[in-house]
Structure 1
Amino acid sequence: VAAVREAIEEGILPKMIQTGSSGSYFARSKDGMYKGVFKPSDEEPYGNLNPKRAFLRRYFWWAMGRPCLLAGFSAMSEAGASLLDDRLALGMVPKTKLVKLSSPSFHYHYKDRMAFEHHGQKLPDKIGSFQSFLQGYVMASSFLRQHPLPSRPRSGSSSGTTSSSKDTQAVQGSATEVTEEEIAQAEEGALEEDDFLWTPESLMAFRLELEKLVVFDYLCRNTDRGLDNFMIYHARGAGSNDIRLGAIDNSLAWPIKHPDGIRDYPYGWLYLPSDLIGGPFSQATKDIFLPLLSSPKWWYETEQALLDLFRQDEHFSIKLFESQMAIFKGQGWNILQCLRQDDEGPIELCARPKKVVRRSEQII
């Protein structure tokens, strides 16, 4: 973060990502290398300073937002997802912290912009999430188009996906904004020299990583997981089966209630071929999650860590936090019950009835 601040002072500004529904920026160091993605909290998808969706915010404000999520919580959601990833020791979410940055490339109120441009006043710092840059990863939608799964023909491999990412981390350039063309060219370049081929071993490695992503997304109830916001890495070289997933873009998680409107916000990985996403969870996945999710100590320490993080929000409410934890624990309960069965997997997990777990105290 210090390197990014130094770069901004020398005029190397963060670059806004044109794709996606929020104001998000590639942050660079003085040598032009990307260090992370910064998402100001007031430029979130439904934020009042989001440089995108201006028409919707002005004329259809009543239809904006997701009733199950807290407004202005995107940065906290990203940081909370990183914390949960650490608590589970998954290594899937890039390290994400809450930081303060200011830059002329960010979107500001008119009076702040005019004070900066005409009177030389410093632009206000914006608090937001800073997610470390993933080197060598490719967006899942692009990877699966280039390397269709054996059960899915190439012509249908892009069904349900988009040609560009919301907040892709696979692009280099020097312009003020990152365009869809730059993103596509960068991803094509990353895949051109790719000698990857699906084998039974690489499919199994992908399935194991996918199972971890399934449990993670389900636990924090990510309402915005598609094939365009998680990434795939594989070690180059013939015969290599090392596959890892990167879970970026976790800004719409930690709901205060289960989605109950017209949209249920299903998980994008549910639309992968049934021979990949179907079937029971592996023993390896059970060995990772069962000891943790059945431990009262783990739950207590995780809740306390999330409390310490979320209370940094200026609009923090203990009542709303308890609602978030009730959903979080209800999801954990379902995961435990599913993992204890021999014949249940991701599809059966998502078909389970929605649960909430609330804590009550009685004086005896």
Structure 2
Amino acid sequence: MSETVPILVDTSVCVNEVNCALSDSSTEDIRLVPEVAFEPALDSPSINRESQPLLGGLDVSFNQFPDDPGFSDLVWQAEVAIDNAIFPERISQGSSGSYFVKNPSGKIIAVFKPKDEEPYGRLNPKWTKWMHKLCCPCCFGRSCLIPNQGYLSEAAASLVDTKLNLNIVPKTRVVKLVSDTFNYLRIDRQKARVKRAIMEQFFFQVVKLVSDTFNYLRIDRQKARVKRAIMEQFPNVGLRFNRIGLPPKCGSFQLFVDGYKDADYWLRRFEVEPLPTGMAKKFQLQFEKKFQLQFERLVVLDYIIRNTDRGNDNWLIKYDQPSIVTSNANGTAAAHVHVHETADTTDWNVVQLPEIKIAAIDNGLAFPYKHPDSWRAYPYHWAWLPQAKVPFSREIRELILPPLSDMNFVQDMCDDLHLLFKQDKGFDQRLFERQMSVMRGQILNLTQALKDGKSPVQLVQMPAVVVEKSHGQTTSRFFNFTQRFQDKSPFFSWC
């Protein structure tokens, strides 16, 4: 059974010159160059590579984000790097298959978490969760979460962060990538080898065919130009031999943040290495205020999405220690010295203010379809920090209360989440509505706590509530919301 494969060669200038040369030759010469319909280059954003089965069936249009060209460019850099054998590197930590994605220069630009390599995914390369699933089926997974939708939760947390202008979640979207370093079934790799062999053979046969044709015509100049055009065009396919045949993996693509460390690291440092005693009080207060504002943003995010996995090891802190500028004898600036390294006689007028920022990563275990009610409560570990005992600040109330008090805003956010979650093949409308009911209940509690001037600790102590949506009796354009409190509590409330 034969298969017709289109030849994509952008050589309009060269072939026109060849045709002109042939028309000037004797009438006895026979035109041996077939008419070829020329298409844009494979890397052109206007072409849909979905029709290229030898490239693994990867729909490149899936990775295009018209509303965010910068993000699209980063994903394209990751694809170019993979084409040039700069593969994503598997992260050793964690219980799932996640990867550091690099750009063509080898710099880490993102973290990719495939759907089928999640903790309980069928291709998870980490044996710990496989043993858990095999030996403890009764305790398999978290009963309040939809299995294998962590990649959607990662992207959804970024969506909520953007809608509320919290700016603590690194931008995250759902993309499709193919790499030889991902975990694939053996049969998929064998099929990929066969396809690569066929593609390589086809490539060399085309080059040989064109070369032999022009050798027969003895048009050296035009032959060189066409061969050069082909060699420039087909490497765009040849470079993709690293991806040919392998099925694309759908997962979350989260931008990598530089200069951040685990929150546990800095929280311990703050305890054992407090700011100098001679430091001006206003600098101490400014530092505490900045950290408190960032901390409250984390609280708002985690509470709305009901994150069941927020420990001190999966949120990051970037802390630029305050420093002063030392001067030489001639009065010129010499170097920056950290305040911790100076004496108490520091001139605080030349101190550069400390900078601190929080990044909320690992949001894959969020958006439950019910509140925990079985064994574990999955508490927020930040609730034990001293910052959690401070009432919410005026800044966070002014940022969060206006949008969350608007039911149209909340519904728009639910609609945006619906567009995101329905990308999954196993999307269940009923379970999604239950997820949104939990989120609406969290928003209801949060807005009330902000109005009452409560602290994060008091917020998490409020009764769990679910706000369910139902269509009105008169018209389907309006909804009724029913508030229901949870009457069942987990057996272990501290874990």
Question: What TM-score, normalized to structure 2?
Answer: 0.61
Residue 99 in structure 1 maps to residue 210 in structure 2 = no
Say if 1:205 and 1:243, in contact at 8 Å, map to a contact too.
yes
Counterparts of 2:89 and 2:265 in 1: how far apart (Å)?
22
Query: Residue 140 of structure 1 corresponds to which residue in structure 2?
Result: 263
Q: Which has the higher contact order (CA 8 A, sep 6+)?
A: 1
Which of residues 292, 300, 306 in structure 1 aligns to 2:417? 306
Name the amino acid aligned to 1:95: K
Match of 1:246 in 2: 359
**Structure 1 stretches of 4+ moved >6 Å:** none
1:271-282 aligned within 5 A: 271-272=384-385, 274=386, 276-282=387-393
Q: Which amino acid aligns with 2:367?
A: W
Aligned mates of 1:11, 1:60 — CA distance in 2? 39
Q: Please tell me whether residue 319 in structure 1 is matched to residue 430 in structure 2.
A: yes
Shift of 1:116: 3.4
Q: Distance in 1 between matches of 2:164 and 2:258?
A: 22
* Rg (Cα) greater in structure: 2
Deviation at 1:79, TM superposition (A): 0.6
2:272 & 2:369 partners in 1: Cα distance? 36
Match of 2:372 in 1: 259
1:217 partnered with 2:293: no
Which residue of 2 is the match for residue 355 of structure 1? 465
3-state SS in 2 of match to 1:309: helix
Deviation of the 1:242 alpha carbon: 2.5
Structure 2 partner of 1:162: none
Give the count of matched residue pairs: 315
Please list the CA deviations of residues 188-241 of structure 1 after superposition, one character each: whole Å capped at 9, or x if unmatched: xxxxxxxxxx92321221111101110110000011111111111234542423
- SS of the equivalent of 1:359 reads strand
Give the drift of 1:317: 1.4
- 2:403 — aligned with what? 292
Tell me the percent identity: 41
2:449 equivalent to 1:338: yes
Q: CA deviation at 1:337?
A: 0.9
Q: CA RMSD in A?
A: 1.8
User: Which aligned pairs between 1:81-100 and structure 2 lie closer than 5 A?
Assistant: 81-100=157-176
Per-residue deviation, 1:11: 1.2
Per the TM alignment, residue 98 of structure 1 is displaced from its structure 2 partner at its CA by 0.5
What runs of 5+ residues in structure 2 fail to find an aligned partner? 1-74, 197-243, 275-282, 324-351, 475-495
Distance in 2 (CA, whole Å) between partners of 1:236 and 1:150 is: 12
- The 2-side partners of 1:345 and 1:117 are apart by 59
Paired with 2:269 and 2:151, the residues of 1 have a C-alpha distance of 32
Tell me the distance in 2 between the aligned counterparts of 1:308 and 1:292: 20
Following superposition, the deviation at residue 105 of structure 1 comes to 1.3
* Aligned equivalent of 2:115, options 36, 41, 45: 41
Shift of 1:10: 1.4
Q: Is the 8 A contact 1:205 1:241 kept in 2?
A: no
Contact 2:321 2:354 in 1 (8 A): no
C-alpha distance in 2 between matches for 1:236 and 1:332: 35
Q: Aligned AA for 1:304? A: D
Contact 1:24 1:40 in 2 (8 A): yes
Which residue does the alignment assign to 2:62? none
d(CA) in 2 for partners of 1:202, 1:237 = 10
The alpha-carbon deviation at position 252 of structure 1 amounts to 0.6
Query: Taking structure 1 as reference, are residues 142 and 99 closer, same or farther at Cα in structure 2, changes over 3 Å only?
Result: same
Distance 1:84 1:25 in 2: 24
| Contact kept in structure 1, 2:193 and 2:245, CA below 8 Å | no
Task: Specify the alignment match of 2:292 in structure 1.
Answer: 207
